[in-house]
Amino acid sequence: MSRAVVRPKSWVMFILLAICLINSAALAQDPARFPKPEFESGYQQPPTQTPPPRSTGREWMDVFVLAVALGLTSYFALKKRSRRAIWAMAVFSVIYFGFIREGCVCAVGSLQNVSAALFLSDYVIPLTVLAFFVIPLIFTLFFGRTFCAAVCPLGAVQDLVMVKPVPVAGWLQEVLGLFRYVYLGFAVLFAATGSAFLICRYDPFVSIFRMGNDFGMMLYSIGFVALSIFVARPYCRFLCPYGVLLGWMSQLSKKHLTITPDSCHVCRLCETSCPMGAIDKPTPEKLPVTREQGIRRLGVLLIFVPVMIAIGGGTFSRLDVFLSKMHPTVSLAEKIDLENRTGTAGTTVETLTFRSSGTPAETLFAEAGIIRKRFRIGGWLLGGFLGLILGVKLIGLSIFRTSTEYEPNRAACFSCGRCFSYCPNEHQRLENIRHY
C-alpha cells in the first residue's frame, strides 16, 4: 500500500490511500502499459528481427587457427626449411585471416586494445583479443618472427605481391625503420587516452580484404599494394608497430630460422638474397674504430641517453594541447569554447547535439582538462620512449658484435625463408634427403 509522504513543507496533511501497486515513475517507459491499438482482424504484431553477430565460438576458433598456423609456420621455417610451405601458409593466411575473417581484430591492432585495457579503468578487453596479442609474442619468443612470415595477413599479402623488390640502403632502412617506433608510441598514446585507434584507422590492407571503402582509403590501400611490389614489405619494415614488439621478442628467441642448415662457409652467396635487408654480414677483421675509441664513444652516448629522454619527454609533453585534439571530448570542448567566444551556437552537429543535451559546458571543459593532463603525462612517456630508442640505436652503431657467419638479423628477419635456396649447404641437405 502506498503511503502519503508528509514533508514539513506541506501545510495540510494529505493522505491518499487508494493509490498503490504501480510504480508510476516507470510508467511512461513501460511498453506493456502502452496504449496499443486493438486489432479485431486477428493481426499479430511481428517481433523485431535480431540477426546474431559472429558467435564467440568462431572467435575462439580463430584463436585456435592462429595458434595452429603459428605452429605450422614455425615448423616449416625452422625444421622443414621449406620456402614453398611458408608461401602456402601465407596464401592460407591471406585467404582465411584476410578475405574470410575480413581483418578485425588482428594482432597488430590488438596492441591498442591492450594499451587501453592497461590505462583506462573502464575499458574491458575480450579474452580472444588478448589471445591474439599474446600468442604471437610468445611464439616469437621461442621461434622468431614466424608470425610475420606467413600468419599475419598484412605481412602475408605484402610477401605475396613482392615481385621486383629494390634493395634499400642500410642507413635508409635504419632511418625509415624508426617510424615504427614513432607509430607505436602514438598508437599507444592515443589508445591509452581513449582518443582513437590509429592503427585501425590507417590499416593499409583491410580495405582490400573487405573489398570496399571510401575513395581515399581505397587509393591508400592500392598504393600500398603497388609499393609492396617494388619495396619488400614496406608496412612491416617501416610502419608496423607490433613488429617493434616482435623484434624485441625475436632477439631473445630460443630458436631462430638459420640461413644454412649446418655451418656457414662464408661463401657470400646469400649476401644479397634477402629483399628485406635482414642478413648480418660477418664482422670485418679490422674494425673501423679502435677499441679505445669505441669505449669513449660509448661513454659519451651513455651520458647522452638520459639527456635525449629528457628532451624528448619535455618536447612531447608540451604538445599536449595539440595532441589532445585527437580525443573527441577535447575536440568538442574546443568547438564549444570557440562558439562561446565568437557568440555563435550550433555551427556543427556535434556542438548542436551537445547543447541540446543540457550538459553544462563547464563539465565538458573539466573533462577535457583531465584528458589534457593525461596527454601531458603521456607526452612525457612518449617523448622519453622515443629519446631512449634513438639513444639505443646510436649505441648500437658503436657496438660491434663479433660474428664469423652470415646470419639473419634476429630483430629484422621475418623468417620468410627466401634465403634457404641461396645456401649451397641447403642444396647438399636436400640432396642428402633425396638419397636416403
Partner 1 sequence: MGKILTYVGIALAVAAVLAGIIFSSNRTSSAVNKPPEAAILYNIDDYKKVDPALIGYTEVRQIKPAFRELYGMACDADDKIYVTGDEQLAIFDPAGDEISRIDLGHEAKCVTLSPDQLIYLGLNHTVAVLDRNGKALRSWVAESESAVITSVAAGERDVFVADAMNKVVLQYDPAGNLLRRIGEKDPESERPGFIIPSFYFDLAIDPDGFLWVVNPGLHTFENYTFEGKLRASWRKTAFDLEGFGGCCNPTHMAILPDGSFVTSEKGLVRVKIHDPTGQFRTVVAAPNQFAEGTVGLDLAVDSRGQILVLDPKTGMIRIFAKRSS
Partner 2 sequence: MNNEKEKLGRREFIKDALRTMTAAVIGGMGGFIGGRAAKNTVWQLDPNKCVQCERCSTHCVLTESAVKCVHAYDVCGYCQLCGGYHRPGAKIQDTAAENQLCPTGAIQRTYVENPYYEYTITEALCNGCGKCVKGCGAFGNGSLYLQVRHDRCLNCNECAIATVCPSGAYQRVPSDRPYILKGQQGQGS
182 lines the binding site for partner 1 (CB under 8 A): no
Examine residue 261 and tell whether it contacts partner 2 (CB under 8 A). Answer: no
Take residue 34 and report the three cell numbers written for it: 502502452
* Cβ-based neighbours of 212, under 8 Å, separated by 6 or more: 218
| E-only strand ranges, 241-369 | 279-280
CA–CA gap between residue 197 and residue 189 (Å, rounded): 10
| 204 near partner 1, rule: CB under 8 A | yes
* Rounded Cα–Cα distance for residues 190 and 115 (Å): 9
**According to the binding rule CB under 8 A, does residue 36 interact with partner 2?**
yes
> Which residue among 272, 347, 363, 403 contacts partner 1 (CB under 8 A)?
347
DSSP state at residue 289: S
List 16, 266, 307, 392, residue binding partner 1 (CB under 8 A) = 16
For residues 129 and 113, the answer to whether their CB atoms sit within 8 Å is yes
Q: Which of residues 95-134 bind partner 2 (CB under 8 A)?
A: 102-106, 109-110, 112-114, 117-118, 124-128, 130, 133-134
| Sites for partner 2 among residues 203-242 (CB under 8 A) | 206-207, 210, 212-213
Name the nearest CA neighbour of 218 among 414, 210, 250: 210
The residue type of 407 is E
Residue count of the chain, please give it: 436
Give the E-state strand segments of 293-412 in sequence order: 407-408
For residue 54, the Cα-to-chain-centroid distance in whole angstroms is 22
By CB under 8 A, is residue 346 in contact with partner 1?
A: yes
Smallest gap from Cβ 307 to partner 2, in A, equals 27
Q: Which is nearer to partner 1, 301 or 332 (CB)?
A: 332
Give the whole-angstrom CA distance, residue 248 versus residue 342.
Answer: 51
Using CB under 8 A, pick the residue from 75, 202, 248, 365 that binds partner 1: 202
What type of residue sits at position 177? G
Closer Cβ to partner 1, 56 or 348, answer by number: 348
User: Minimal CA–CA distance to 143: which of 244, 257, 274, 280?
Assistant: 257
Question: Residue 276's closest CA among 359, 126, 419, 167?
Answer: 167
Interacting stretch for partner 1, rule CB under 8 A, among 3-11, 92-100, 137-145, 419-427? 3-11
* 6 binds, options partner 1, partner 2, none, Cβ within 5 to 8 A by partner type: partner 1
* Cβ(371)–Cβ(330) below 8 Å: yes
For cell 632511418, name the residue.
175
Residue type at position 58? R
Binding string to partner 1 for residues 18 to 47, with x set by CB under 8 A, is what? xx-xx-xx-xx----x-x-xx-x-------
- The one of partner 2, partner 1, none whose footprint includes residue 202, by CB under 5 to 8 A per kind, is partner 1
User: Which residues contact partner 1 by CB under 8 A?
Assistant: 2-7, 9-19, 21-22, 24-25, 27-28, 33, 35, 37-38, 40, 164, 166, 202, 204, 214-224, 226-227, 229-231, 346-350, 352, 356
User: Which residues contact partner 2 by CB under 8 A?
Assistant: 30-32, 34, 36-37, 39-41, 43, 45-56, 59, 102-106, 109-110, 112-114, 117-118, 124-128, 130, 133-134, 137-138, 141, 196-197, 200-201, 206-207, 210, 212-213, 248-249, 252-254, 328, 348-350, 352-354, 356-357
